[in-house]
Amino acid sequence: MGDKFLTLSEFNLEGNFLGFAGKKPRKVKYLSLAVPSGDVLVKLPKKLRGCLSSSLEIGEPINIYGTCKLNRYTGLIKLKAYQVIPFTSNPDQSLPSPPPAKIMVCQKSGCVKRGGEGLLSELEKTLCDRGLLDKVTIEHTGCQKRCSSAPNCVLMLGKKKYKKIHPEAIASLLENYLTGDHPCHAEE
């Protein structure tokens, strides 16, 4: 079964906070935002709901960073926030850092026998040569359930997954991701 939602892009909205909304009274699920083109509802993840409900004031200017998803069946677009911050006119304020990058390398015997150790050392060498080794987490995993394509390595850039790619390609994608030029910032 495929995912019902297709991620279109990431977004950054600036507007005035109008309040919270939900299907049940006193259940915060959405944030209402006034933007120049109208009012929008943005879904809040559970981890943000509690702290925001006590810290935001109606009319306060805020920035919302999140992902825009398309429901494949209904054609409706859903906005989901991953960060909400009060807007300041301080020009030194930088954009939020992208979600962390992670590389998962299978270390089960089948993958190791089919080149997993070589893949891991080549990957570490390539990342070290480009000065990226300290900017990514390399996780040694158990079986990734794709034994026929061993050795297995998955690059996670935010919510985007890349499978079966060469260490040089991983390094290039990671460089672009960290500088903000990566397609997953525009299209996931």
User: Residues 125-140: pLDDT tens digits?
Assistant: 888 888 888 888 888 8
The phi, psi pair for 19, rounded to 5°, reads 145, -175
For residue 22, give the 3-state DSSP assignment. coil
What mean pLDDT is reported for the chain? 80
Confidence grade of residue 94 (pLDDT, cut at 50, 70, 90): low
The tokens for 33 are: 């935002």
pLDDT at 91: 46
Tell me how far CA of residue 151 lies from CA of 42, 86, 107, 124, in angstroms: 40, 45, 9, 15
Rounded to two decimals, what is the model's pTM? 0.46
Q: Which amino acid is at 83?
A: Q
Are the C-beta atoms of 133 and 171 separated by less than 8 Å? no
Q: What number of other Cβ atoms are within 10 A of residue 67's Cβ? A: 20
pLDDT at 45: 86
Instruction: Report the share of the chain in percent with pLDDT over 90.
Output: 3
Strand locations in the chain (E):
5-21, 30-35, 38-43, 61-71, 77-86, 101-106, 137-141, 153-157, 160-163
**Can you tell me the distance from the alpha carbon of 50 to that of 45, in angstroms, rounded to the nearest whole number?**
10
pLDDT 10s digits, 136-176: 888 888 898 888 888 888 888 877 888 888 888 888 888 88
